[in-house]
Amino acid sequence: MKTAVIYYSSHHGNTLKIAEKFSESFEGNLFEYKDVDGYNTVEYDLIGFGSGIYHGKPANEFLEFLDELPDVKNVKAFVFTTSGRGSEKYNIPLKEKLEEKGFEVVGEFSCKAFDTWGPLKIIGGKNKGKPDENDFRRVKEFANELKERLNF
């Protein structure tokens, strides 16, 4: 299965760390969203799409990138976000946009990550050291479960 991971990460590189672990686990290509020509996405069997969360949602630039993707058939996707709260609900806009384009969304992942946004800076931020080894283990488990389910 040809796999790619495409990410947006601007605050502390948290989402990039998770994206790197996903690309290692799937032995796939890793791309920052800016470097992707959306029309190449049709070449893949599975693509992971991930972003940090800014003001309650994935980055506007990343959502715009998804809006500009071509319609696809037979391409599976999984989504992931990193945020201060770590809520899985933050994945919803990613899932919705990808499904509009015809992707089959087969999984989602979220985790808490280092956050120094706004007043948090004064107290040195929260979730220091995250994502950590435990999150990377969860990434690996997620990837292994997905590979098994999709007969990789």
Q: Which residues bind ligand FMN (CB under 6 A)?
A: 9-16, 52-56, 82-85, 113-115, 117
The residue sitting closest to ligand FMN, measured at its beta carbon, is: 52
Render the chain in DSSP notation, one character per residue.
Answer: --EEEEEE--SSSHHHHHHHHHHHHHT-EEEEGGG--GGGGGG-SEEEEEEEEETTEE-HHHHHHHHTSPP-SS-EEEEEEEESS--GGGGHHHHHHHHHTT-EEEEEEEEE--B--GGGGGGT-BSTT-S-HHHHHHHHHHHHHHHHHTT-
CA 21/CA 137 separation, integer angstroms: 9
Residue with smaller CB distance to ligand FMN, 126 or 147: 126
| Nearer to ligand FMN among residue 25 and residue 82 (C-beta) | 82
Least CB distance to ligand FMN at residue 44 (A): 22
Q: How far is the CB of 45 from ligand FMN (least distance, A)?
A: 25
**Nearest distance from residue 60's CB to ligand FMN, in Å?**
11
The residue among 54 and 152 lying less far from ligand FMN, judged by its C-beta, is 54
Smallest separation (angstroms) from ligand FMN to the CB of 46: 21
The token pair at 95 is: 């899932």
> Is the CB of 65 or the CB of 114 nearer to ligand FMN?
114
